[in-house]
Structure 1
């Protein structure tokens, strides 16, 4: 009941200074073309994906696709559709298959091993759900996947992504998702508005950890995500390579192992130049998470993160409210990486430390709340030391900034940071290579001691 109640409690708040994506269509009125009602077989032993594909072909240009109110649809195979000038009225429920082995077989049979169960492309697409809490849900049945995770594992193999919107000039509104298997929403393209999202990826008491249940992975340009509630075991919203001009506002993020709002990870493929620019997070509430905000790049990566703001955050029971590392370690990846996962030193796994993803122009302002002093971290640690270990941390660090060298982080500013440990001990700041010369308006004293506002 609490989760559903939060849907109505997180309402629009005033936001100033945010980037406003331009060029998208306006309004969400129905199309003038044909309406294609998607038919349901009414049973999870049959597959409704062909019915969706048929309707999508018939109304692919200028039409309306209707999921009937209160009707259950069983998508037992992945769907792909290209839709231009189309409305999707999502008033029914989509169910993914409940047979783990069956789904793994589909993922293993795909090229590259990446499957988005629902993959939509096109221009001027309106995907509109319903505010009726009794219908309009996507059911992923992820709990059985989380419970099957082996001891010291970070998620079982061959998990699908839920859905991808590779679209332009499009709106996505009123999404409700229950127990997604893993990565939830991928955004590619440009000029995308997203409003009113609820994701429940919280495990049951004593259940397996919901690894990689990212709420949004954004690699698009000119994006606005507003009004969301996400309970999960990874980043609620992360901006990946190619993300530019993105605003993320008015969100509530909760456990069991949430990682807040993030930039990256960037630079894992050392030969690929990564770019993230003009990102604005504002009015975010974070409860019971490992991080409030995070920027994460790999040792030896290439690229730039530029012009990022984290404003008006309320954090509670959060282990590392403000966190940045240029020595990121992904415990769940088999790709070449640095290996140690700590702020300094370690075995770097064969990576060459010959470059950094440059980070410049980052502002943190108007933060308040408390640090998880007594029970830090979450249930996702399967290594020793833990992947989120920070040497010397003791539950009093409001800010942890680990830059790879004295010029890799520049023009950082901290304004009005009022985050204190639950123990009421002195608030501390851990900084590595955050150089005063490169950050003339830093606003804090990086002595690993008491936080000082200037």
Structure 2
């Protein structure tokens, strides 16, 4: 159920209906059933129907709202969804198997999801989903928030915790999407380590901005997927992740994946498998060809990561011989690694970077002010198939 309290009615009551300076946005406050076994999504949908056209939908402070079915915000047109309490995913792993997403933002033009108090939380209730997945890796878990074919979307100031799978995905030709001042964390619980909890998967889209973000997870912090174009990441801290990654790309037979015009700056990478990198599949009929062009990593601080930078052109294969028989034909062009500082972990010491470029493709990469050391004080860089004068000396051949 919901409480419908349009501001226009309030102004009529208080005799201010004709004051042109007042904002007449309708407001609906969603009432929680207060029962974890009850699905509050129908109440949310009703509120959107009443107040979604330019209005405000409020989740009250101090309340927990049960999300037991997909929350599709269709009908939200230039609306604001204001989360002051907690939205929590149900325990129903059977229902959620195979569902694409928990929150579906599809075909929306103009929406803001935020909190004014700073207390808003979206709890993905990850543990039961991680447990099922650990026992059965074919179990298909939902993304927490999925943006598809939408524009002018703002998600700000919220905390997202314990996603069952990926936290945020944007794709389907979406544009002008902003993620700002968010905290994402997936914390191991009861001895269960979360898997595939990417912070942000940016697919087919233009002008996506990710800024002022903290992510603690166990997979990619940010992944630029096929079709990502004009993506900016600024002021992000990633802890425990697989790093900030282009890819993986070229995994599908006959695919022609592209990632273009990406700029990452002011990234602090803590205890990650790598700080930044590119993941490409090998060549051959079972894979495709990728193009990565005009990508810049600038101002990256490395704290205890395996590699500061990594390029893989045989991603996902355990056989070097197989990769050699079908080398990648992908293009890596105008990729810049600038103003790096800090130290890697002991994992690959004395190697700080492993750059295995496509053997049958193109690789133009450039390093400047790359001030990274391993714990031993050395800074060895492994590289293969680099076509440009990359600005760093190579200590041997790369792999991967």
Taking the TM superposition and a 5 Å limit, the aligned residue runs for 1:256-271 are 258-271=241-254
Deviation at 1:259, TM superposition (A): 1.0
Match of 1:81 in 2: 73
- For 2:368 and 2:24, the matched residues in 1 are separated by 50
- Structure 1 residues 303, 149: closer, same or farther in 2, change over 3 A? closer
CA contact (8 A) 2:209 2:233 kept: yes
Match of 1:92 in 2: 85
CA contact (8 A) 1:266 1:357 kept: no
Match of 2:16 in 1: none
1:397 aligns with 2:351: yes
Match of 1:421 in 2: 374
Name stretches of at least 5 consecutive residues in structure 1 with no aligned partner. 1-29, 108-112, 330-338, 377-393, 450-454
Q: CA RMSD in A?
A: 2.2
- For 2:24 and 2:202, the matched residues in 1 are separated by 31
- For 1:120 and 1:58, the matched residues in 2 are separated by 18
1:34 aligns with 2:18: no
**Structure number, greater radius of gyration:** 2
Match of 1:408 in 2: 362
CA contact (8 A) 1:143 1:207 kept: no
TM-score, normalization by structure 1: 0.76
- For 2:166 and 2:258, the matched residues in 1 are separated by 21
Q: Show CA shifts across 1:425-453 (max 9, x none).
A: x2211111113xxx14x11122339xxxx
1:119 aligns with 2:104: yes
Poorly superposed stretches of 4+, deviation over 4 Å: 147-151
Once the two structures are overlaid, the 10-residue window that deviates more, 355-364 or 311-320, is 355-364
Match of 1:323 in 2: 310
RCO comparison, higher one (Cα < 8 Å, 6+): 1
CA contact (8 A) 1:37 1:68 kept: yes
CA contact (8 A) 1:286 1:316 kept: yes
- For 1:37 and 1:261, the matched residues in 2 are separated by 38
1:69 aligns with 2:61: yes
- For 1:305 and 1:207, the matched residues in 2 are separated by 38
CA contact (8 A) 1:228 1:251 kept: yes
1:45 aligns with 2:46: no
Deviation at 1:53, TM superposition (A): 1.3
TM-score, normalization by structure 2: 0.86
- Bigger share in strand: 2
2:330 aligned to which of 357, 364, 373: 357
Match of 1:159 in 2: 141
- Structure 1 residues 423, 355: closer, same or farther in 2, change over 3 A? closer
Aligned residue pair count: 366
Name stretches of at least 5 consecutive residues in structure 2 with no aligned partner. 1-21
